[in-house]
Amino acid sequence: MATVRDNAVEHRYEVHEGTVLAGFVTYERRDSTITFVHTETEPGHEGKGIAKQLVTTVLAEARAQGLSVLPRCPYVRKVIADNPGEYLDLVPIGARAAYGLPSG
């Protein structure tokens, strides 16, 4: 079972399978905005849906914390674009065009 946790020291959310790091998404946080910068899946963990589980978890966490999301990471942007009814509202309307996302 994969678990996701915030590694605030490294500025990244990590997903672990047991005790093994399976992937991470780096972020920058300023005030009420979180910018997701880069998502990476560790070798040997690709193709298992780890990155999607990680990104959907961190987007849900951003929502729970009342944060706006800036998806600089192409994979985070793809998850938002593929599920606009679920995540598009996290991205400020004025920032959506910069990330190739619909305005509404």
**Is residue 18, in this structure, part of any structural domain at all?**
yes
Mean pLDDT of the 37-52 span: 96
Count of structural domains within the chain: 1
In the predicted structure, residue 1 carries a pLDDT above the cut 80 = no
Asked, for residue 74, whether it belongs to a domain, the answer is yes
Assess if residue 104 is contained within a domain.
no
CATH of the domain at 22: 3.40.630.30
Instruction: Evaluate whether residue 79 is within a structural domain.
Output: yes
User: In degrees rounded to 5, what are phi and psi of residue 36?
Assistant: -90, 120
pLDDT value for 57: 97
In this structure, is residue 10 part of a structural domain?
Answer: yes
What was the pLDDT predicted at 44? 94
From the CB of residue 28, how many other CB atoms can be counted at a distance below 10 Å?
12
Residue 12's contacts (CB-CB under 8 Å, 6 or more residues apart) are 24, 25, 26, 27
CA angle, 7 then 78 then 54, to 5°: 30
Quote the pLDDT of residue 59: 98
Q: What is the pLDDT of residues 52-93, one digit of tens each?
A: 999 999 999 999 999 999 999 999 999 999 999 999 999 999
Count how many residues are written for the chain: 104
- Please give the model's pTM, rounded to 2 decimal places: 0.95
Domain hosting 67: range is 2-99
From the number of C-beta atoms within 10 Å of its C-beta (0-12, 13-18, 19+), residue 54 rates as buried
Structural domain contains residue 86? yes
Per residue in 14-42, pLDDT (tens digit) is 999 999 999 999 999 999 999 999 999 99
> Is the per-residue pLDDT at 104 higher than 90?
no
- Per-residue pLDDT for 103 more than 90? no
Closest CA to 35 of 82, 83, 67, 78: 67
Rg, C-alpha atoms of the chain: 13
